[in-house]
Amino acid sequence: MKTTILPINDFLSNQLKEVITEFSSVLEIYYCSNTIEMTSYLLLHLNNRSDIDIIANRKGIKKLFKIYGIIVLLFDYDSLKYKFKHGYPLIELIYQEKHLIYQQEGIDFTKLATRSFKEFKNQYNIYKEIYFQDYGLLSSELNKYKSLDAISSVFLLYERILELHLQYLEELYVGHMSPNSNLHQRIKAISKFNPEIEGLFLKRNEEEYYLVALINRVKEAIEEDREVYYHECFEAFNNVENALHNFIQDRFKSLKRLIKHPIVIPTITEVALELNKQDTFNDIIIERCLNQNQRIEEIYLYKTLILGNQTIYYLLVIGDKFANEQIKNLESSLQDKFNKQTNFVIIAHTKIWIQTELYSSQDFFAGIIKNENKIFSSSQYNASLHWLVPHESLYTDLYYYNSVTNNTAKELLKKLQKLKKNQECKQSIPYLLSLYFLSFCRTYILAHLSYLPNYLSSYSLWLLCVNVNTDLIKYQYLFDKFGTKFFSLLDYYRVVHQRLINFDTEKTEVLLELITQLQAELKIIVDQRS
């Protein structure tokens, strides 16, 4: 019988001494830390259920996991007996005589008798089989409703499957099912013990996950008797729930192995380091990006385009709060670091924004977000996008944007014709020119990629156009012929200034030709989409 705490570490020993002194209901304490692939566990057996929440909420007890990675389990006798009797593998692993570090003297209580693996195995098999039976029944029901195209019922079944997976993950990692019915909070809580779980779910915000929010949206539609769509998300749900199912199977195997063979010999793997000359270039890009914004999740270098003596690198940056001005500064910073023959085009979005735009832009982003293009990731557990299957690019807004571009072009051409005859005020023309070029580039990119870029610099927008159609570079002679720094002029006149600009006849002719040619290019691709 052990009536003193065995030395573990000072902080843990002090916390347990305080708990034992203040709570006479503590009957036994077990500490399991002899596993290599798993975290440490502390199990407190009490005879007063009302003390459980009080002890669990003590600051020192909460710090045990935060600082030392020790998971604390608290059970009264009836709960512990039930789990022991029904073959809960985590409880079996911890509740062993060799893990006992404290037992109260002078109090009579019924101690659960530890047993051999052979005696435990029958209960364990029953416990495990219940999970597989429930999962099999839900999966069969899910497939039936899919075949009936009953979309609402499919989503409700996905919710039940997620609840089943979370129940067993909680029992296998922390010994008991969460009393919380909120799936968002349960996913967040269990992910503390296995970060890979949260990596399956794309966050909608700090408190919610996209797929769970989608289930809630479907339930609202059912209550309001509205049609439910989103069948393209079934594949994403399949991927997530299959991964959770695999985690559960792996956890069952790990616990069984550790119960049967408690001593685990670590395997030593030889790691070969391979140096890549490209790393230096990528490191500079990563460093400059992080200097501009610390909240970057991932960076993709997805295209390199060589045009004459110019090399253009196209980057997708995924992260929070990346303003257009930041992007412009970052592009300039990278160009300054290398040379004038190097240009960088950066598009930046949050991951949840990309997710919500997949209905129209999935093909564009799927072509970029690949492991071979990834040069930076803030964590190995970053959530992946939930791709839509099946998917077809939509160009629903193209008519609107094309109409705006055409109207702007007509107005600008009219004013330029009048300017040739000295019948037009020069002051309004550069603003209209800047608006037209912005509108043309975004519409042209939308027509090609079903992706509408942000209000990037005029030159970056033009290089995005060139990326989808390198033949556009043939109009470079018109930019050169214009004389003044054409793209800088366009950016300058995105903001209102009280200033006159002098367009001579030659510049006016150049602009007339340029706009006419660009409109012809736009018409070709828009007609194809129509």
Are 292 and 321 within 8 A, CB to CB? Answer: no
Give yes or no for residue 274 having a pLDDT over 90. no
The rounded mean pLDDT for the chain is 90
Assigned CATH topology for domain 10-114:
Beta Polymerase; domain 2 (3.30.460)
Encode burial over 277-287: b for 16+ CB neighbours within 10 A, e otherwise. eeeeeeeebbe
The torsion angles phi and psi of 346, rounded to 5 degrees, stand at -120, 125
**Is 118-260 CATH 1.20.120.330?**
yes
pLDDT band at 272 (very low <50, low <70, confident <90, very high): very low
**pLDDT surpassing 90 at residue 245:** yes
pLDDT band with cut points at 50, 70 and 90 for residue 260: confident
DSSP output for 43-58: EEEES-TTHHHHHHT-
Q: How many CA atoms lie within 13 A of 5 on its CB side?
A: 20
pLDDT at 6: 55
- What is the phi/psi pair of residue 418, to 5°? -70, -35
Residues in the chain: 530
Buried b / exposed e along 427-466 (16+ C-beta atoms within 10 A): eebbbbbbbbbbbbbbbbbbbbbbbebeebbbbbbbbbbb
Q: Residue 339 — pLDDT band, cuts 50, 70, 90?
A: confident
Taking the chain, what is the end-to-end CA distance rounded to the nearest angstrom?
83
Are 121 and 140 in contact by the 8 Å Cβ rule? The answer is no
Q: What does the pLDDT read at residue 37? A: 56
Q: How far apart are CA 344 and CA 334, in angstroms?
A: 7
pLDDT in tens, 148-164: 999 999 999 999 999 99
Q: In 317-457, which ranges are continuous DSSP H helix?
A: 324-337, 351-356, 358-366, 398-420, 429-449
Beta-carbon contacts of residue 304 (< 8 Å; ≥ 6 apart): 311, 312, 313, 314
Q: Is the pLDDT of residue 3 over 60?
A: no
- Tens digit of each residue's pLDDT (9 = 90 or more) over 441-475: 999 999 999 999 999 999 999 999 999 999 999 99
Per the structure block, which two tokens stand in for 79? 């709960």
Count of helices and strands (H, E) across the chain? 21, 8
Structure token digits, residue 93:
């692993």
pLDDT tens for each residue of 89-143 = 999 999 988 899 999 887 777 788 778 888 899 999 999 999 999 999 999 999 9
Give tens-digit pLDDT for 55-90. 999 999 999 988 888 999 999 999 999 998 999 999
The arithmetic mean of pLDDT across residues 483-509, rounded, is 81
Q: What pLDDT is recorded for position 221?
A: 94
Tell me the H-state helices in 175-233: 183-190, 195-198, 210-223
| Token pair of 209 as six digits | 């996950």
b or e along 384-394 (b: 16 or more beta carbons within 10 Å of the residue's beta carbon)?
Answer: ebbbbeeeeee
- Residue 478 is encoded by which pair of tokens? 């018109």
The topology under which CATH files domain 281-377 is Alpha-Beta Plaits (3.30.70)
Taking the C-alpha atoms of residue 244 and residue 239, their distance in angstroms, rounded to an integer, is 9
